[in-house]
């Protein structure tokens, strides 16, 4: 391990050998003998070894969480918000170090790593305000001398299964909102990015200690898919939030649904940008390039398809290929580079397989598609972003490839473009670039995009925390982060109070004795 890496981990108080299971401030070294060697996709260096949690470790955590939930739901929401506020302050103080660790462990650029930590800070701010706005409604009763209203209560334990591509932000989206709602959280991070998870919980320790909170409000369990399966099956966990592939999400939904639990799913995306003949092509180009190659195409909101009006198809294609020729690929900690590595060898293989598949189906690779080697690319995880022409019905186009490959598809009319946009199994993010107001409004109408996110003159990638984030169809239907997504973490209760002296029944029913 490089000296600078050791110093970075030390600055965040990350020592994997101290334990992989945390119930607040108590770190437990698992009795399990199964370990994982954490390697950086940046240079292939080993960052550390982490011991997987065993089933008995998992049980220890859940018992602590159950006990903590009974206490936490009685704490006033603004006080719960104060804890989140203090954590946001810790994140601000360690933004650079945590952002650098995100970049080192996951492979995204340092600027994107900083941006991810800023998302955590922003959701803390949002959650603090939310802690004083967990509103219910008051309704008029049909019965005299009766009052009706609804209120929201904590649900208990929230299980969080997060993915490698946003190793800390998505946990914060869930946990900070759940915390102010009065829930306790059990987090299973991706086994590909456990060190950032440990760092997040290390930053929580002082907040927990300073406020004399009991163990079990914030819980971390590092393990493989078996821990995820335990979360999904556990009847003591009323809601499981899972981020990952559609394949994984279907399994979680099936298992949680079988016990009539609730799941919040954020799954795959196959996102398209429609580029109209009325578009500002300079802005469309910037959005397309970032959407296609940002995080090396490993965002669920990454742009996978560009639907380009036939009148500007050749012009925009040339602009895009030229822009790709200016991309700098290399160490993501070097701020001069635009594109970092893919997460691992499996991701590289999926990318190269997609490149071959689109050629086999009749598409043309215009640029990129190669695996890079030599000095600076020793990890074997660096690839050259690919642009290919294709048709929307190609099998490979219908699937999500988690890497920097984009398919260019011409269209003639806006109705055709919208149909192409919607004609995939996923429904996460979508966008149109046009200065024509009729086109923009048509795209946003009920007859337009069928995605959970629909943007005008903004790309598919990147979302503010103030809006609810999520998608439809095989994206899972979940909503996280802003707006009223908080309601998923609470249970609704309708209350009716009779303050009169008799007992009238609803619907005018008479029941005289």
Burial 312-348 (b: 16+ CB within 10 A, else e): bbeebbebbeebbeebebbbbbeeebbbbbbbbeebb
Please list the active-site residues.
266, 300
- C-alpha torsion 111→115→118→120, nearest 10: -130
pTM, two decimals, is: 0.96
CA–CA dist 87, 114 (Å, integer): 17
Residue 240, C-beta contacts closer than 8 angstroms, at least 6 positions apart: 158, 159, 160, 161, 231, 232, 252, 256, 261, 262, 263, 264
The alpha carbon of 280 is separated from its chain's Cα centroid by a whole number of angstroms, namely 30
* pLDDT value of residue 18: 62
CA–CA dist 459, 291 (Å, integer): 6
In the sheet that holds 453-456, the strands lie side by side as: 364-367, 386-389, 405-411, 303-309, 271-275, 429-433, 453-456
* pLDDT value of residue 463: 86
Give the residues of the chain that fall short of pLDDT 70.
1-3, 16-19
């Amino acid at each position: 391990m490089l000296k600078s890496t050791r110093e970075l981990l030390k600055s965040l108080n990350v020592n994997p050998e101290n334990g992989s299971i945390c119930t607040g401030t108590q770190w437990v070294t698992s009795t399990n003998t199964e370990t994982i060697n954490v390697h950086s996709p940046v240079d292939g260096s080993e960052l550390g070894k982490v011991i997987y949690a065993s089933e008995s470790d998992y049980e220890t955590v859940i018992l602590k969480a159950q006990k903590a939930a009974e206490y936490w739901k009685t704490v006033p929401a603004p006080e719960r918000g104060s804890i989140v506020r203090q954590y946001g302050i810790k994140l601000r103080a360690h933004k650079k170090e945590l952002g650098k660790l995100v970049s080192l462990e996951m492979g995204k650029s340092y600027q994107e790593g900083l941006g991810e930590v800023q998302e955590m800070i922003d959701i803390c701010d949002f959650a603090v305000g939310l802690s004083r706005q967990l509103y219910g409604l008051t309704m008029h009763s049909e019965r005299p001398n009766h009052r009706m209203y609804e209120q929201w209560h904590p649900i208990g334990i929230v299980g969080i299964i997060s993915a490698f591509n946003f190793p800390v932000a998505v946990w914060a989206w869930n946990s900070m909102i759940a915390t102010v709602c009065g829930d306790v959280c059990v987090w299973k991070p991706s086994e590909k990015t456990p060190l950032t998870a440990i760092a997040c919980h290390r930053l929580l320790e002082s907040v927990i200690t300073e406020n004399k909170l009991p163990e079990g409000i914030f819980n971390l369990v590092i393990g493989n898919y078996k821990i995820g399966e335990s979360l999904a099956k556990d009847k003591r966990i009323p809601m499981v939030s899972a981020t990952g592939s559609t394949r994984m999400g279907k399994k979680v939904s099936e298992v949680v649904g079988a016990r009539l639990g609730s799941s919040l799913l954020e799954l795959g995306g196959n996102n398209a940008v429609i580029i109209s003949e009325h578009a500002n092509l300079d802005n469309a180009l910037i959005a397309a390039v970032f959407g296609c190659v940002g995080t090396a195409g490993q965002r669920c909101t990454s742009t996978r398809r560009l639907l380009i009006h036939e009148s500007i198809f050749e012009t925009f294609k040339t602009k895009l290929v030229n822009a790709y020729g200016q991309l700098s690929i290399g160490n993501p900690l070097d701020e001069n580079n635009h594109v970092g590595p893919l997460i691992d060898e499996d991701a590289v293989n999926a990318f190269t397989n997609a490149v071959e598949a689109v050629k086999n189906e009749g598409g043309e690779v215009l640029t990129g598609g190669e695996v890079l080697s030599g000095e600076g690319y020793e990890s074997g995880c660096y690839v050259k972003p690919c642009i290919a022409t294709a048709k929307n019905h190609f099998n490979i186009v219908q699937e999500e490839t988690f890497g920097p490959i984009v398919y260019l598809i011409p269209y003639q009319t806006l109705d055709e473009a919208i149909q192409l946009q919607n004609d995939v199994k996923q429904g996460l993010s979508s966008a149109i670039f046009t200065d024509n107001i009729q086109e923009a409004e048509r795209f946003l109408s009920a007859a337009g995009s069928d995605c959970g996110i629909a943007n005008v003159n903004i790309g598919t990638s990147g979302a503010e925390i103030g809006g609810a984030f999520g998608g439809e169809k095989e994206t899972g239907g979940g909503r996280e982060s802003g707006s009223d997504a908080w309601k998923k973490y609470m249970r609704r209760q309708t209350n009716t109070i009779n303050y009169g002296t008799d007992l009238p029944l609803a619907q005018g029913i008479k029941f005289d004795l």
